[in-house]
């Protein structure tokens, strides 16, 4: 469900900024596009700087329908935009760090990313690890073992194995993020 699914006069109950980062080619933009359109586009180009997408998460409260708007900022780590990293990251309610499950070399920068996002001003941000391209993995137990060690090492809030190409599990981290903030703001009682 995208933001066009609600009448223009409805306002979201919450607006959450979700910052999505990872190395080039791990599928950040494809993840966002699969959420927005429920389909894969083989012609998706690499991002330049940052791409923006929105997703409206519906929920019911006391018999009425509401929604949380998640605003995704998919960051591209190319050299000209590294100076803007802190600016783009400011105010993120959730941070998704993505790697390519079929190319474990994409994990090499996770330590670097975690050093940048594990700061006192981001202590309240929900931090989630996303392993994309699970449809290409022949040995998922190895990926799971590495991801589990990263979750423990950085005390991450969650880990999801997804396939943005086939829209497999792409809504699971979004639901977890929305439900986390619904509990904090007690909007689903």
Domain residues for the domain of 18 are: 3-185
pLDDT at res. 37: 66
pLDDT at res. 133: 95
Please count the structural domains in the chain: 1
- For residues 51 and 153, what is the distance between their CA atoms, to the nearest angstrom? 29
CATH number of domain containing 171: 3.40.50.300
- For residues 31 and 41, what is the distance between their CA atoms, to the nearest angstrom? 11
pLDDT at res. 4: 46
Record the tokens describing residue 7, joined without a space.
């009448």
- For residues 149 and 26, what is the distance between their CA atoms, to the nearest angstrom? 20
Rounded average pLDDT per 10-residue block, the chain, 189 residues:
52 92 89 70 50 86 87 79 78 94 86 87 88 89 90 94 92 93 76
Q: Model-level pTM greater than 0.75?
A: yes
């Amino acid at each position: 469900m995208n933001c066009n699914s609600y009448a223009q006069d409805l306002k979201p109950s919450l607006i959450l900024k979700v910052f999505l980062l990872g190395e080039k080619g791990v599928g950040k933009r494809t993840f966002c596009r699969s959420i927005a359109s429920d389909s894969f586009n083989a012609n998706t180009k690499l991002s330049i700087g940052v791409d923006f997408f929105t997703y409206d998460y519906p929920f019911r409260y006391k018999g009425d329908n509401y929604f949380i708007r998640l605003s995704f900022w998919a960051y591209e780590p190319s050299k000209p935009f590294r100076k803007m990293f802190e600016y783009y990251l400011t105010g993120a309610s959730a941070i998704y760090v993505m790697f390519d499950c079929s190319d474990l070399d994409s994990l090499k920068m996770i330590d670097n990313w975690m050093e940048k996002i594990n700061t006192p001003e981001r202590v309240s941000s929900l931090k989630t690890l996303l392993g994309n391209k699970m449809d290409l993995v022949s040995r998922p137990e190895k990926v799971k073992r590495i991801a589990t060690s990263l979750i423990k090492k950085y005390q991450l809030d969650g880990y999801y194995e997804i396939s943005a190409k086939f829209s497999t599990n792409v809504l699971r981290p979004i639901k977890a993020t929305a439900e986390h903030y619904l509990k904090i703001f007690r909007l689903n009682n």
